[in-house]
Amino acid sequence: MPTAAPGSARGQRLYRDRGVVLRSIKLGEADRIVTLMSEGHGKVRAVAKGIRKTGSKFGGRLEPATHVAFQCHRGRELDVVTQVETIDAHRALREHYGCLTHAVSMLEAVDQVALEREPDPALYRMLERALRTLAEQPSPAVSTAFFWKLLSLEGFHPVVDQCTRCGGPAPFRAWDLRAGGVCCGACVLGGRPMAPGTAETIARIVGGGLAGVLADPPDDRVLGEVERLAVASLEFHSERRLKSASLR
């Protein structure tokens, strides 16, 4: 099946796209409602009929984190999946508990911020690349970096080069969730204290230096701090709890 863009010769009700499966919930006896982050149609919710039967033509292709080419029939509220082909099943993610929980956190975060039927190709590409990177380099830094980049993409780029309250220079001692950036020693009141090296690591990640962070990761304490701040910032701005973060 070609991985063509939106629309089709048979009118607007049938469309093809590529996407990453974000989640799937049971529906009735043998169906599931799958949520996909697609390239051309934004977040799509569609019914996969008979998928829970062992002889289903969809098989395991619509499991979360799978990158697929799909065809859907547009419905009023829910679309109906008619064909699916796997582009990348990310098998490495499924066979390592740590990787799986990090991948699921990224999927949940995208599910929270993406809008239904609002195309966001940048978000789709970022998720797809992050899953591929996580499968190749299983490190908690990948999902942490994904969260920071997601915040940046959604308009909450972290401020790490000057104090968010007084504009003062480093060293920075705390993080202000509301302002979305660092605080210097004089403005630390009310901020979340952070370990030395945290701001520098966040700056490297959002500044295009993720490869460097993966090759030369900071110590576990700093990485843990960067991860906790990323989750807290994401939850603060999305106003929703990232449920899967507690299992990481």
Residue 219 binds other proteins, judged by CB under 8 A: no
One-letter amino acid for residue 99 of the chain: C
* CA-wise closest residue to 220 among 130, 144, 129: 144
SS3 60: helix
Q: Which is nearer to other proteins, 13 or 243 (CB)?
A: 243
Residue 107 binds other proteins, judged by CB under 8 A: yes
Q: Which is nearer to other proteins, 65 or 160 (CB)?
A: 65
Residue 132 binds other proteins, judged by CB under 8 A: no
Sole binder of other proteins in the list 9, 10, 97, 216 (CB under 8 A): 97
Residue 54 binds other proteins, judged by CB under 8 A: yes
Q: Which is nearer to other proteins, 89 or 195 (CB)?
A: 89
Sole binder of other proteins in the list 5, 6, 13, 60 (CB under 8 A): 60
Q: DSSP string covering 191-235, please?
A: SEE--TTHHHHHHHHHTT-HHHHHHSPPPHHHHHHHHHHHHHHHH
Alpha carbon dihedral 30, 128, 152, 16, in 10-degree steps, equals -70
Stretch that binds other proteins, among 55-63, 127-135, 144-152, 228-236 (CB under 8 A): 55-63
For residue 116, the minimal CB distance to other proteins (Å) is 17
Cα–chain-centroid distance for residue 168?
Answer: 33
* CA-wise closest residue to 4 among 66, 85, 60: 85
Q: Which is nearer to other proteins, 8 or 246 (CB)?
A: 246
Residue 188 binds other proteins, judged by CB under 8 A: no
Name 46's Cβ contacts closer than 8 Å, sequence gap at least 6. 33, 34, 36, 72, 75, 78, 79, 80, 81
SS3 106: helix
For residue 117, the minimal CB distance to other proteins (Å) is 21
Question: What are the residues binding other proteins (CB under 8 A)?
Answer: 23, 28, 54-61, 63-65, 86, 89, 91, 94-97, 100-101, 104-105, 107-108, 111, 241, 243-244, 246-247
